[in-house]
Structure 1
Amino acid sequence: MAKHKVFISYDHSEDALYKRLLQAWDANDKFDFEFDSRGPDVAINSTEASVIQASLTKMMKSATHILVIVGAKSHESDWITWEIDRAKQSDTKLKLAAIKLEKANKTPPGLLNVGTAWATSFTLDRIIDALDDATNTY
């Protein structure tokens, strides 16, 4: 199977611990993770947003998948909403995968009813399974 190039979407202020864990797993030969380096305090409607969006779009266009880490506040994040919507546009069309950190966490609307592949737990094997099962047939 081809190597997955994965763009990670997560709440920078709430779920950075999980990003760091994924960075530790990044040595795995089944995938490469892409992380954006914007600060968590940059609002999507700020004057800096367009530069960040252009940078994120470039990273997404070089990826094959988007993996959304669904934390307690992810469904409220304008950035996560934008990243999911951007990932589904025809010039990007990333395969969708996600992992809920807690079962009760609310799913961001852009992941619903579009065939998102879900990891059943935050473990390397389950995340690889979700990436392997992910499609872009939304």
Structure 2
Amino acid sequence: MSYKNKTYVMFDADTDIRMYRLMTAWKANDNIDFNFHDAHDLNNLRKTTSEDQIKRKLKERLNNTKQAILLVGENTKNLYKFVRWEIEVAMSMDIPIIAVNLCKNNSSTEKTPPILKNKAYFVSVPFEQSKIKHALDKFPSEYHHKKSEAPSDRSYTWK
């Protein structure tokens, strides 16, 4: 279940942080059945921190993670400094990645970074609380059982 394992959330901090904050608000609301252990709670980062220090702390978070969410917005596939690096590290650590599409066409993976689409088995879901929860609850175990049987485009879309 998603509430038992730490979840690392990757996103464009300039444009998509509001969606990350909405997910944490769902988690904090006792009337919404949505819970996850947020790996971002592990250590704090400051704007004055160097890129190397930030990456070291992000890697610490990923080391304590069993699953990852990638919030896929308009600019995500063009982000290389941190988001692509986070994806590469997650893939190298064999962490299941759930791509959550923030764009209007929720079933499309056109905005998903190519590195993920071309090299990883992942699931793509729309930004809907129930679908994200379902993916967090089910995909990580499925990932470890079925990644070698992934379709040729390496993605799977849950509806």
TM-score > 0.5, shorter chain as reference? yes
Matches within 5 A, 1:1-138: 1=1, 3-27=4-28, 30-35=35-40, 38=45, 48-78=50-80, 79-89=82-92, 92-102=93-103, 103=105, 106-113=111-118, 114-119=120-125, 121-131=126-136, 132-134=138-140, 135=143, 137=147
Deviations 1:2-55 (A, max 9, x none): 62321000000011110110111234574212237546x78xxxx811100110
User: In the alignment, is the contact (CA less than 8 A) between 1:10 and 1:74 conserved in 2?
Assistant: yes
Q: Which amino acid aligns with 1:75?
A: K
Q: Which amino acid aligns with 2:121?
A: G
Q: Tell me the distance in 2 between the aligned counterparts of 1:18 and 1:69.
A: 8
* TM-score, normalised with respect to structure 2: 0.71
Say which structure is richer in helix: 2
Structure 1, unmatched stretches of 5+, are none
User: In the alignment, is the contact (CA less than 8 A) between 2:99 and 2:112 conserved in 1?
Assistant: no
% same residue: 25
**Residue 112 of structure 1, CA deviation:** 0.7
Q: Which amino acid aligns with 1:58?
A: E
Q: Tell me the distance in 1 between the aligned counterparts of 2:14 and 2:45.
A: 11
Q: Tell me the distance in 1 between the aligned counterparts of 2:122 and 2:21.
A: 23
Q: Which amino acid aligns with 1:123?
A: E
**Structure 1 residue aligned with 2:152:** none
Q: Between Structure 1 and Structure 2, whose CA radius of gyration is higher? A: 2
RMSD between aligned residues: 2.5
Q: Tell me the distance in 2 between the aligned counterparts of 1:49 and 1:71.
A: 23
Report SS of the residue matched to 2:54: helix
In the alignment of these two chains, the number of paired residues is 130
* TM-score, normalised with respect to structure 1: 0.80
